[in-house]
Amino acid sequence: MPNSIPFLILIAVCAIAYSVLLFHKRAAWPVILLLSYSGMIYVFEFFIFIWKDSYRYSPHLLSIPYYDNALGAVFSNLLSVPVVSLFVAVYRLSWRWIVCLSLAYGGVEWLFLHWGIYQHNWWRTWYTILSLMLFFMLTRQWKIWLAGRSRLFKFVTLLMFAWSVVATLVYTLAVTGVRIFHIGYFQDPYHDDIFFSAIYAFFKAAVLSVTVTVTLRRWRRLSSLLIILAAHLILMQLGILRVLIPLWQYWLIYMPCCLFVLWLVAVSSRKLEQFRVEQ
């Protein structure tokens, strides 16, 4: 059996479950909450997966080994775990459900290890089970906090949403051979790229989230893109960012992506405000 089949089956099951939830709720906020949960997982994964190399995925869908490894993490972090977290939060599933779902993920991890499509370096399956229990409890409570009066939870939710979106787009630019970051922290240049990409994506997400939060004026919000553009040019001048296609093509791809993400963050900010009012 090809390595990719179990990953694709897991993604298909989660996509169907997510579609059912969206059909039931008929609202935008579950999408925002899903990607916010994904961003929260990215925080965790940055330290244990990217920085400390906790485990390795082998879906064998990309020719570059570390990008292929990161793709397995994207399958898990962008859809699989956030979808289950969303069900826990939306339907306020009890701690019994949380324990059962965490154990089920432990079982899936054991199967992936058995099939040789996933490997532990220093990680252990019981770490996964315990981490998911804690995360599911956090996400269940997060929806309640988000509906409260504190604007801190709205901002953090927006920041995590933005990081999830930006990091996914940055990864897409990497695997399609558009650009690569290099700072020399890791010997593997592609591991090095993913490491710095995550940091840079967080910086961009923070700039966009802060700008959208502090001002409603469109031209002031556009100033966030000037900050990102300036940082981009500095990284290019320092040789940290290497563009692998003609520059005119790169800017033709990159600038519309930035405008799209800014618009998406602005819309999500409004939807989150509506969510807080309606709850």
Nearest to 225 by CA among 172, 198, 265, 196: 265
Q: State yes or no: pLDDT of 61 exceeds 90.
A: yes
Q: How far apart are CA 58 and CA 60, in angstroms?
A: 5
pLDDT digits (tens, 9 = 90+) for 171-220: 999 999 999 999 999 999 999 999 999 999 999 999 999 999 988 777 77
Give me the mean pLDDT over the 162-167 stretch.
94
What percentage of the chain exceeds 70 in pLDDT? 98
Backbone angles phi, psi at 245, to 5 degrees: -125, 170
DSSP, collapsed to helix, strand or coil, labels residue 124 as: coil
Q: Where are the domains of the chain?
A: 1-146, 147-279
pLDDT digits (tens, 9 = 90+) for 251-269: 999 999 999 999 999 999 9
Give me the mean pLDDT over the 29-39 stretch.
92
Q: What is the pLDDT of residue 29?
A: 87
pLDDT band at 278 (very low <50, low <70, confident <90, very high): low
Q: Which residue has the higher pLDDT, 54 or 219?
A: 54
pLDDT digits (tens, 9 = 90+) for 72-95: 998 888 788 999 999 999 999 999
Estimate the crossing angle of helix 81-90 against helix 4-25, to 10 degrees.
30
Nearest to 153 by CA among 241, 44, 276, 245: 276
Q: What is the pLDDT of residue 279?
A: 62
Q: State yes or no: pLDDT of 45 exceeds 90.
A: yes
Q: What is the pLDDT of residue 219?
A: 74
Q: State yes or no: pLDDT of 150 exceeds 90.
A: no
Q: How far apart are CA 167 and CA 67, in angstroms?
A: 13
